[in-house]
Amino acid sequence: MLRSPRVNLQDRPKVQGSTHAIPIRIMHWVGAAAIFCMMASGFEIYNASPILPFVIPDWLTLGGWLGGGIAWHLSAMWVLLADGLCYLTYGLTTGHFRREMLPVGPGSVARDLVAAFRFRLLHRLGHYNAIQRTLYLGVIAVAALTMLTGLSIWKPVQFGWLTDVFGGYPSARIIHFAMMSLILGFVIIHVALVALFPRTLVSMTVGARADEAVEAEP
């Protein structure tokens, strides 16, 4: 049976305050709710005109019919857009991105992947390792592309130039579906990691003392 490495309490990084600032926690849950609504309503829209040989079960959809799905989708879109702009503004003005998202490179990602596969990757709440940084930066880029493709298929006449960038309406719709699928995959991985480390849910909900927030992967 593999054992988690011992963590010397005196060697823990000294970080003052909470693992996640209150604005980060608020924006996280607002964004999570908006993404849930967009995905469920997006499934309803997809079922009205599937691009693959299957449909999504009704219990996973939101809106009840095409018009309802579109209404939910657009409403959640504005919430997510506002939340995303607030997050970008906060991250850039407070140094959150610089501290928590950078630097990241192939070497650090490879090192943390090896440590994870050996069950020796330490996890400190409120601090992102190289794998997490790569995933979070990637999902931000995917979310931006999802938003752009969504605009191109929502208003293909008004944003005709944008629709053309993605190769036309059918191509833009396929790219939009693919990007949403990547976000869904990220959410599944994220929830699975939360299940492995329940304290992350507590820290993102009510906060936790940063100087007590070190744990090792099982």
pTM (predicted TM-score): 0.76
Pairing relationship of beta strands 214-216 and 122-124 according to DSSP bridges? antiparallel
CB 124 within 8 A of CB 118: no
Q: Which of 75, 100, 125 is the last residue before a domain boundary?
A: 100
What confidence tens digit (pLDDT) does each residue in 24-55 have? 889 999 999 999 999 999 999 999 999 889 99
Do residues 116 and 162 both lie within one domain?
A: yes
**Cα 60 from Cα 163, distance rounded (Å):** 28
Do residues 43 and 96 both lie within one domain?
A: yes
Number of domains in the chain: 2
Do residues 42 and 120 both lie within one domain?
A: no
Structural domain contains residue 88: yes
Range of the domain at 38: 19-100
The band of 207, judged by pLDDT with boundaries at 50, 70 and 90, is low
Instruction: Give 78's contacts (C-beta < 8 A, 6+ positions apart).
Output: none
Give, in order, the Cα–Cα distances in Å from 36 to each of 13, 15, 59, 206, 210. 35, 33, 13, 21, 29
What confidence tens digit (pLDDT) does each residue in 146-171 have? 999 999 999 999 999 999 999 999 99
